[in-house]
Chain A
Amino acid sequence: MKRLLTRYADTMSHISVFIGHSCSILFFACIAISALEVVMRYGFDRPTVWSTELAMTLCATAWVLSVGYVTERTRHISITMLEILVSPKVWRLFRLFQQLIAFAAIFVLTLALWKPALKVIGRTEYSGTAFNSPQPTIFKVIIVVGCILYLAQLIANIIRWTQETQEDMPSGN
């Protein structure tokens, strides 16, 4: 059982890091598209109708999907003032509490986002602009995927906590 859990934690962390790294490619694409729009507008006098929405969609997707990576590296912004005030043992308990609260909150958030996501899968929602992409649909689905990644990585972190293998990485930006 213990080995199985360790396997899960390691595999999940690998997946999170891989997705996180892949997100950098999406950000690069997003930069390229936005810069290209300026060139098209001034260089060729041909502004596009798609660049804004495409850049937004790629960027938001990367932004949401990087959550596993951020969680794996424990880079969520939090205030750790108490860490210097309490004993390491007590702080270790706090760490568990923080991750359990995060799990509970994101789980409830996933439930809240679930129905809207199913709804747009059943009936596609469009942006209503000139480009009229299914952007709202993508966003409502991708955020659920992001939440699930977040939860999966939190489980991995909690496993590592119980096995005392969770590195104490500094938090904050």
Chain B
Amino acid sequence: MNKVVGSAKEALNGVKDNMTILVGGFGLCGIPENLITALRDTGAKGLTCVSNNAGVDDFGLGLLLQTKQIKKMISSYVGENAEFERQFLSGELEVELTPQGTLAERLRAGGAGIPAFFTPTGVGTLVAEGKEIREFDGREYVMERGITGDFALVKAWKADRFGNLVFRKTARNFNPMVATAGKITIAEVEEIVENGQIDPDEVHTPGIFVQKIMQGPSYEKRIENRTVRA
């Protein structure tokens, strides 16, 4: 068995129209940038993308908004993307805004075989409309559904050949949950090492969740708000 593939294009073999694609990252930090560009180049349309943010106009998932390949987004915050706002307000793009913690838990639950759970987040707001409310110990909770996807695209710092992943700093964010929730999970990494070179105590995502691994040819790692000490 060899999980390592030569390119993002090869890794995405099998992506079809109308699939649900889960994508890791927070803002532009820890996004699978090579896989996103390759996903655009597959030309697949009608996609449902689950990602905390929608990139910016010309980087990250913003690239697939430009080409109108995304039918629906499930996200918590999309304020950095003018094209997103335009497509949403004009009705071209379907959007399910989900609180950030609820989104993280929906992915975690989906990957863990839990179809639904109750959370206090969003009770009494638009987010809870049409959903089951139940009281536990005197407080109201709203039922939220787990999320799974046809493909999950994550970015890690390092992988070994079995697919054990190590993330770096705050580039971890949504990647571990996204990795668990894909039928096919592809990890793009900065470095592939031999099995045994990652200490088992330091593995963040065990390789069982990863079906394909590819090393990105280059990383732009664009910074959204470069801020330095005065």
A and B from one assembly?
A: no
Which residues of A are at the interface with B, using a C-beta cutoff of 8 A?
none
Which residues of B are at the interface with A, using a C-beta cutoff of 8 A?
none
